[in-house]
Structure 1
Amino acid sequence: MADAKDVKNVFLTATEHGDAEKVRKLLAEHSIEPDLTATREGIGRSVLSVAATYGQTAVISELLKGGANPELKSTSQRIALHEACIGGHLESVRLLLDATSNIDVGDINGQTAAHLAAFNGETKVLKLLLDKGASMTARDIKGRQPAHLAAIRNHVPILQLLFKSAIDLDCPCTAGKTPLHYSAQHGSFEALVYLLGRNCDLTIQDKNLNLPLHHAARHDNLRCVQFLIRHGASLNATQGEGRTSSHIAALYGGVNVLHWLLETNVDVSLVDNHGNTSLHNAAEGGKAECFNCCLQHDASLSVANIKGDTPLDTAKKYGHFLLMEKALRNEVVCPHCLKKCEKLEYDRTHAPALVERSITSVGTTAYTSPLPPFQHTPTQHQQNLLRAEIKRKMRNQKLMDRNMVAKYL
């Protein structure tokens, strides 16, 4: 038994390393089963699948000649063709396509060879699959087509190939999400730009009535949010619960998106179907930086939702009161608001004196120096003093009434 085990290990090693000659000899001289399962790696793949994983085309050829079954599945229900597509091994894929009867068979997630090639950005492999008649509209267990997976991974060449093949890029999955939703959700900016350039519909809602903009806001993908808005997405568009992108960003901690939206003059007092403002949402989600950002943009602590809860009531209900109190006292701050305050303070302290402004306003070159202007950069000590002063001033802003503190403590 030990000898047989040693022979099998040698066989598996030869398969992985692409030693086709040794594989041929072992098959002939030791009567090794060509469908041997490589149990040592823990995922139950056949030796043919192992060879496909490493792109060992010559070994694949020897195994197929020896009677290996190309449609034997691993514990993840993948066949050798799947493994070759994942690795982008074009010649191995070509060989296995000729040996496989059903090239659209799915794995444990319902994903076909086309799905796996699209997800891994293997454009040449996907083109070969397309030429061999593989379905580009097959759906996995979540109803996603290869286009959805390409959008998730930001593979623009895959999307280009699918578009040229007349595949509908507005196709919804089971959850109602199109490739545009997925690109916004995963921050796949180049894919999002391409899809919008192909007139994909940014007004399609998923099953929860979320737009691509809402998914981008939830995952704090600022560039995607900005691009969607520049191309017509509404700042105040709502989803199923009446939440706008600012509500969603506050709830899930998208401080980059939230700050940008509030700076774009989105109304911080807008309420969702439950009467919650963005401040309520930040309190519910325990997102202190977002809570502070809303306060710095004049959000009200006294607005009550339909249950009669103020933002601090909401924070207490969800176990986030102490954290929100820190944000209220500017012990936790929105980094963008702090940066803005620092810049404003710097501009104020370095503003030109009255006489300098007067000289600048006079239409003459009498006081113009031929030398470039000297840039007054504060020293590190001055910067430290500035930060301390700003934090002191911020702590004195938007503090709750003493009685209010007592009420919630």
Structure 2
Amino acid sequence: MPPTGQMRAKATKLSSIHDAVKLGVVEEVEYMVKEGASVNEVDKTKDRFTPLHWACEKGALEVLHWLLWHGADMTVQTPKGWTPSHIAAIRGQDACMQALANNGANLNAKDARDATPAHLAAVHGNSFTLHTILRAGVDVTATDKMGWTPVHCSSFHGRLGCLQLSIRWGGNIEEADNSGNTPAHLAAMEGHLHCLKYLVSEGMTASHVLGARNDNGETPKMLAQQFYKENIIEYISAIEWERDHPEEAENLTFPAHVSAYTGDLDHLRMLIDNGIVNINERDDKGATPAHKAAGQGHVEILQWLIEMGANVKITNQAGETPLDIARRFAQLAAVKILMQYTNELDEEDEDNSDGRMQERILQKERRREKERRREEREQRREERRREKYEAYRERKRGRRSKIKELRKDLDELEENEDADELEREELVQHIKELEEEQENDGVDEDDEEDEEDEESAAEEEFISPPPAGNTEGTNMEFTAKQRREARGRAKKKCDELERLLLIAKKNYTQLGGQLPEERERLKLDRDSKR
């Protein structure tokens, strides 16, 4: 049946299915497909986009789902080799990317430069979209024509979030591109200090990461000097100074360890009491101040550390506790103090072992119950979303049918010369209201989110650990005071909602809308005039 009214007006404005997709109007897309348009039609611009490309470009998720349900091809490539998943990666449309992945899109597809969607998401810093791609199981080590992986792309463009994601999901920070540049080279030449620091922290050693050379024999520092990246030069120079002056560097890096080693209790007390260092801080070999004091036999420092709550069971990289260090260096007084304190700790551990075991079992059960309830909550949420969407579609269809009937009645009135003008105005007003409702209607997920928050809070309270002590016979019902306070909060919330409702009504009327009570008043006035 040919379009009428508002649909006919829209059809004159939208010259192709691509224009309808850009607007995100499912009904218009559906109408144009019925009129003969193809869901895989390529537009005439230089980009050569299909409707699916445009849906990913604009983030039109509802249109995207409709196109996928009606057989849109997810493998069509533009002249640059971009599939719809490439476009979603560039624009950071993670919801569209998830929909494509759920419908079997190839997220390892390569464009004309052999870049995958993961490469493009990393280039543009779209970490949420990159996370969606990585969760779909793509190859994070895939390279483009320059030999770059997503790790290289993130480093070159300074995208720290994407860099962390790529490495966490298996990216190699030492892999060299076609020119021999590692990610550290690329971060250094572009001056991205935050990315370079992260690469150094994730590497074997700072010297290993910063000492790598590309095919031209250049290190990251050389590239930073070549491109005048002063922040990178200062950072690497400081690391090199620490490497060349280890004793001075240790004094600066671990002052508490130096104080414990030299027996300077006053300085050590000042550092720990003022919160400058942690009492159990480890140096680059895993040793704590207690290890240093035990090795030198500084009994007074050991006693003070124990009184302040130092953990003397911590082991260094060699697996030695402070007691082991004291034995190795024959510091008998330190051995005696540490053995006495260690025996006391062992007795306490033995007394508390049963209680800790029971607590661990309870925690495990609570975690398991929490996970089960979370899965049930997700399932209910999906069911509610599906029901709301079906109700939304039904409302749309019902209003379209009603508008069609009213327009038919209006056409009959216009053909009848003796028709009542007031009745015609009522029909026009009713049609206008239905069209406004049709345009403003949507799938409202606010209530669903509120329900989810309430369910989650209730379940958290249900599975939260019981209070300490014996709770047998405790009255868990609300007291009168608690009920009064709850009523007060509810009344305050009601007043706030009423105020917001008045503001919303005022805005609605200022924009030309008619409230139900206003329409009722006009109808009563017309009836009285008759």
Place the TM-score, normalised by the shorter chain, in its bin. 0.5 to 0.7
Residue deviations 1:150-197, cap 9 Å, x none? 122232221222122221110001110111111121121122222222
Identify the residue that residue 305 of structure 2 maps to in structure 1: 361
Identify the residue that residue 81 of structure 2 maps to in structure 1: 143
Identify the residue that residue 105 of structure 1 maps to in structure 2: 42
Shift of 1:258: 0.8
Shift of 1:113: 1.7
Letter in 2 for 1:101: A
Partner residue of 1:229 out of 164, 167, 171: 167
Partner residue of 1:295 out of 237, 243, 247: 237
- Distance in 1, matches of 2:193 and 2:128, equals 22
The question of whether the paired residues in 2 share the 8 Å contact of 1:183 and 1:189 is answered with yes
Letter in 2 for 1:141: P
Shift of 1:271: 0.5
Shift of 1:228: 1.8
Partner residue of 2:25 out of 89, 105, 124: 89
Q: Does 1:272 align with 2:219?
A: no
Secondary structure of 1:298 counterpart: helix
- Distance in 2, matches of 1:198 and 1:169, equals 8
Shift of 1:256: 0.9
Secondary structure of 1:362 counterpart: helix
Letter in 2 for 1:281: L
* Identity across matched positions, percent: 25
Identify the residue that residue 177 of structure 1 maps to in structure 2: 115
Q: Does 1:351 align with 2:271?
A: yes
Residue deviations 1:175-232, cap 9 Å, x none? 1011111112112112222222221001111011111110011111112212222222
Identify the residue that residue 214 of structure 1 maps to in structure 2: 152
- Distance in 1, matches of 2:166 and 2:10, equals 51
Aligned positions of 1:4-403 closer than 5 A: 59-62=6-9, 64=11, 68=12, 71=15, 80-99=16-35, 101-103=37-39, 104-106=41-43, 107-264=45-202, 265-266=205-206, 267-298=209-240, 351-352=271-272, 360-363=304-307
- Distance in 2, matches of 1:299 and 1:61, equals 75
TM-score normalised to the size of structure 2? 0.44
Letter in 1 for 2:28: S
- Distance in 1, matches of 2:133 and 2:9, equals 44
Shift of 1:117: 0.7
Residue deviations 1:33-60, cap 9 Å, x none? xxxxxxxxxxxxxxxxxxxxxxxxx545
The question of whether the paired residues in 2 share the 8 Å contact of 1:268 and 1:298 is answered with no
- Distance in 1, matches of 2:131 and 2:240, equals 34
Structure 1 126/342 Cα, relative in aligned 2: closer, same or farther at 3 Å?
A: farther
Q: Name the structure, 1 or 2, with higher relative contact order (CA <8 Å, separation 6+).
A: 1
Shift of 1:70: 5.8
- Distance in 1, matches of 2:194 and 2:149, equals 19
TM-score normalised to the size of structure 1? 0.56
- Distance in 1, matches of 2:72 and 2:219, equals 49
Q: Which has the higher helix share?
A: 2
Secondary structure of 1:86 counterpart: helix
Shift of 1:235: 1.5
Letter in 2 for 1:91: E
The question of whether the paired residues in 1 share the 8 Å contact of 2:56 and 2:85 is answered with yes
Letter in 1 for 2:92: N
The question of whether the paired residues in 2 share the 8 Å contact of 1:237 and 1:244 is answered with yes
- When Rg is computed on C-alpha atoms for both structures, the one with the higher figure is 2
- Distance in 1, matches of 2:308 and 2:125, equals 52
Structure 1 248/158 Cα, relative in aligned 2: closer, same or farther at 3 Å?
A: same
Identify the residue that residue 383 of structure 2 maps to in structure 1: none
Shift of 1:345: 9.0
Structure 1 242/345 Cα, relative in aligned 2: closer, same or farther at 3 Å?
A: same
- Distance in 2, matches of 1:206 and 1:236, equals 17
- Distance in 1, matches of 2:66 and 2:252, equals 57
Secondary structure of 2:210 counterpart: coil
The question of whether the paired residues in 1 share the 8 Å contact of 2:187 and 2:196 is answered with yes
Number of residue pairs aligned between Structure 1 and Structure 2: 258
- Distance in 2, matches of 1:239 and 1:364, equals 52
Structure 1 345/292 Cα, relative in aligned 2: closer, same or farther at 3 Å?
A: farther
- Distance in 2, matches of 1:345 and 1:360, equals 17
Residue deviations 1:266-286, cap 9 Å, x none? 421111001111012112333
Letter in 2 for 1:88: G
